[in-house]
Structure 1
Amino acid sequence: MEFAVIGGTGLIGSRVVENLNGAGHHAVPHALSTGVDVISGDGVEAAVNGADVVVNLTNSPTFDDASLSFFRTSMDNLLAASAKGGVRHFVILSIVGVDRVPGLDYYRAKVLQEDVLRAGPIPYSIVRATQFMEFMEATMAMTTDGSTVRLPRTPVQPIAAADVAAVVAEVAAGSPLNGVLNVAGPDVYPLDELGRLTVATKGDGRSVVTEDGAGLFGAVEGDVLTVPEGGGARIAPTRYADWLS
């Protein structure tokens, strides 16, 4: 099968390309660096032409309300080009619980991305993943003051990027779900405890203070960023402590 992976040079996209090609498919990575601009539309039609499946892994450069415009414009351009090019399956990566955090602009933008895809002309699949293990350091940096990290007790279920990419590639190579598949890591942690585990393992000298309301995830209520047991989610194998070490 022929795959166009938009955002195919990034953390997830590069792994998706590798997995698909390793399985005997022909996956081509596309990104701004390869001449494909999903906002202006430059290079988009050429990128998706001849593809059986488009996997859209592009991301907004900001997390504020400008992300709404990014996802609206990029999806409109990609779907129009894909329909014209005869694409039979369109895949995006979203976030577990994304529709349950209306207080975050970026999450509202991802919901918009999902809604545009559902209303579009192409059979689709949405893979929703929990928080990437690779982003924990950046999450902590946002609320670090000197040697102190302030984190809320928000429950999270971290997943390795490699595990996310494996599921995205598998879904992309299958029949369209016309729905959502959730994928999550094997363990749930309060975010502050995850921070303590991270600094203890790295031995970087910082201390973690519990502060509900701190940082991006302070706006999240309850356990909406985790998957319920027996809820049909795919549980990935990599544990955070093993990944960290």
Structure 2
Amino acid sequence: MKVAVFGGTGRIGSRVVALLDAAGHEAVPHGLSTGVDLVSGRGVAGAVRGADVAVNLTNSPTFDEASPAFFRASMDTLLTAARDADVSHAVVLSIVGADRVPDVVHYRAKVLQEDLLKEGPVPYSIVRATQFFEFVDTVLSWTADADTVRLPTTPLQPVAAADVARVVADVSAGPPLTGTVEVAGPEVYPLDELGRITLAAHGDGRTVVTDPTAGLYAAVPDDAITAGEDALIATTTYRDWLAATG
């Protein structure tokens, strides 16, 4: 099976490519660094030519009002090219709970991406993941200064990127789901507690201040971005991942 992986050189994409290749498939990574641009369309027709599956792991470069335009343009380009090339399966990586956070533009944009895929001409699968372990430091940086990190108590169920990649690879190698599968980590943390665990593991002496108004996750209601009961639950814990990654 030949699989065109857009965003195939990134954190998730490079792992997906390696897993698919190891399973005996031909996975080809595509991205700006390989001359393929889903927004402009440059190189996309050639990238999907002869492919059985097209996997879209690209993400908007910003989380602001530009996000919807990015996802509309990239999905329109991909689905048109995939249809013309007789691709039989399109896979997209999205976010758990995206439809439950309408006040955050990036989440609305991911729902738009999902809807375009569902309404499009190619049989599809959607993999929704919770926040990556690898992104926690970035989340803390949004509301940090020299002495403190301000964080709300929003529940998060973070997951290792490697565990997400395994699910994406498995779904990509299988038949279209015509639906959605969720993947999440094994533990739920209030974000402020997650911040304290992270700072302690890094030997960072800053103080976490609980602030219900701080950062993007302040707009997330209740447990909107934790996984549902039918989700695939990965086994890697956050503390084990921190210990393994230093």
Question: Normalized against structure 1, the TM-score is what?
Answer: 0.98
For the residue of structure 1 that corresponds to 2:135, the secondary structure is helix
Other-structure match for 2:24: 24
1:79 alignment partner AA: L
Give the C-alpha shift of residue 88 in structure 1: 0.2
For the residue of structure 1 that corresponds to 2:131, the secondary structure is coil
Aligned equivalents of 2:175 and 2:206: distance in 1? 47
2:239 alignment partner AA: A
Other-structure match for 2:238: 240
Instruction: Name the count of aligned residue pairs.
Output: 243
For the residue of structure 1 that corresponds to 2:120, the secondary structure is coil
Aligned equivalents of 1:211 and 1:13: distance in 2? 34
For the residue of structure 1 that corresponds to 2:24, the secondary structure is coil
For the residue of structure 1 that corresponds to 2:81, the secondary structure is helix
For the residue of structure 2 that corresponds to 1:149, the secondary structure is strand
Other-structure match for 2:225: 225
Partner deviation per Cα, 1:149-195 (whole Å, 9 max, x = no partner): 00000000010000000000000001100000010000000000000
Other-structure match for 1:95: 95
Aligned equivalents of 1:215 and 1:145: distance in 2? 13
Question: Pairwise mapping of residues 7-156 of structure 1 onto structure 2 (< 5 A)?
Answer: 7-156=7-156
2:75 alignment partner AA: M
Other-structure match for 1:162: 162
Give the C-alpha shift of residue 101 in structure 1: 0.2
Moved runs in structure 1, 4+ residues, more than 2 A? none
For the residue of structure 2 that corresponds to 1:12, the secondary structure is helix
Give the C-alpha shift of residue 205 in structure 1: 1.2
Aligned equivalents of 1:169 and 1:55: distance in 2? 9
Aligned equivalents of 2:76 and 2:201: distance in 1? 44
Aligned equivalents of 1:20 and 1:213: distance in 2? 42
For the residue of structure 2 that corresponds to 1:103, the secondary structure is coil
Give the C-alpha shift of residue 8 in structure 1: 0.2
Partner deviation per Cα, 1:73-111 (whole Å, 9 max, x = no partner): 000000000000010000000000000000001000000
2:45 alignment partner AA: E
1:18 alignment partner AA: A
2:214 alignment partner AA: A
For the residue of structure 1 that corresponds to 2:230, the secondary structure is coil
Aligned equivalents of 1:83 and 1:189: distance in 2? 42
Aligned equivalents of 2:88 and 2:230: distance in 1? 25
Aligned equivalents of 2:147 and 2:140: distance in 1? 11
Give the C-alpha shift of residue 65 in structure 1: 1.2
1:19 alignment partner AA: L
User: Structure 1, unaligned stretches of length 5 or more?
Assistant: none
2:47 alignment partner AA: A
Give the C-alpha shift of residue 204 in structure 1: 1.4
1:133 alignment partner AA: F
Question: Equivalent pairs: percent with the same residue?
Answer: 65
Other-structure match for 1:185: 185
